[in-house]
Amino acid sequence: MTLRAVLFDVDGTLADTEALGHRPAYNRAFRKLGLQMRWGPKLYRRLLKLPGGKERLKHYIEHYRPDLGAEQAEVERDLDAWVAKVHELKSKYFKRRMRNGRVPLRAGIARIMREARQQNLQLAIVTNASLKTLKPVLKYCMGPELAAEIEVIASGEEVAHKKPAPDLYRLAMRRLGVRPAECVALEDSEMGFRAATAAGVPTVITVNSDTLEQDFAGAALVVSSLGEPGAPARALKGELGVLPWVTVETLRRVNATAGAVARAA
């Protein structure tokens, strides 16, 4: 098999949306509602083990039992409705941060997308986020020109089971008309890595401050970022090759190595 498609996670992979976008937006929503609770970096890393924003909110309320003040009666009446309200408010503040340029693309993302399209590779986004949450990333972070290069989007509301289940990757591959052996996934988290691996897709991990300590045993390549001229990447596991950043040839090598291992098995 030859490489035909590159499948991109979003939060933490395309941009540091968790640290720079979602967490501050949650805390802004909490303040707006007069709540005393705040999500710091350490707590948020634990919450990121849950597969989506609404799931994190619900888990936090049920397991951490924060003082909700005037919101307590509403929570007791209908927790799911309250979670939806807070999440909607958070989404408004997240969109505002994206619009204001607070969340840039990570190093190498725009470059690798353009290089891949120049070599006729297909691009897809595979994310636990809803399409509504994704739209500000496409519009303000990526920009319309780069976003137009994405051929397929598989978003969290489209499947019964989000990552770490393989459903989203399988959905994206069906839409692209490709097989796992013809793909490489770009992920930043253990949850995403497990999802891609369960779908049979070889994966490059590009870590960030929230995922640096997670378990990526079995990953072909783990890097500090995709890197680019002026902002080189560091290989934490595996080898980058001649250049100090991930190239399309790096992705082809990861794909070919995974294929060789699969055939030998």
Same domain for 229 and 156, yes or no, is yes
Final residue belonging to a domain, choices 99, 125, 144: 99
Domain containing 58 equals 18-99
Q: How far is CA 154 from CA 127, 128, 135, 167, 249, in A?
A: 6, 8, 13, 9, 25
Same domain for 124 and 235, yes or no, is yes
Final residue belonging to a domain, choices 67, 99, 131: 99
What phi and psi, each to the nearest 5 degrees, are found at residue 89?
-65, -45
Same domain for 140 and 224, yes or no, is yes
Q: How far is CA 44 from CA 53, 62, 110, 126, in A?
A: 11, 16, 27, 22
Final residue belonging to a domain, choices 78, 99, 120: 99
162: CATH: 3.40.50.1000
Q: In 156-249, where do the E strands start and end? A: 183-187, 203-206, 221-223, 235-237
- 67 as an active site residue: the answer is no
Same domain for 49 and 86, yes or no, is yes
- 11 as an active site residue: the answer is yes
| pLDDT at site 265 | 60
Same domain for 169 and 257, yes or no, is yes
Positions of the chain with pLDDT under 50: none
From 186, 216, 166, select the one nearest 125 (Cα to Cα).
186
How many domains are contained in the chain?
2
Same domain for 118 and 46, yes or no, is no
What phi and psi, each to the nearest 5 degrees, are found at residue 192?
-65, -40
| pLDDT at site 239 | 92
Choose the catalytic residue: 9, 167, 188, 210. Answer: 9
- Could you report the per-residue pLDDT of 138-186, keeping only the tens digit for each? 999 999 999 999 999 999 999 999 999 999 999 999 999 999 999 999 9
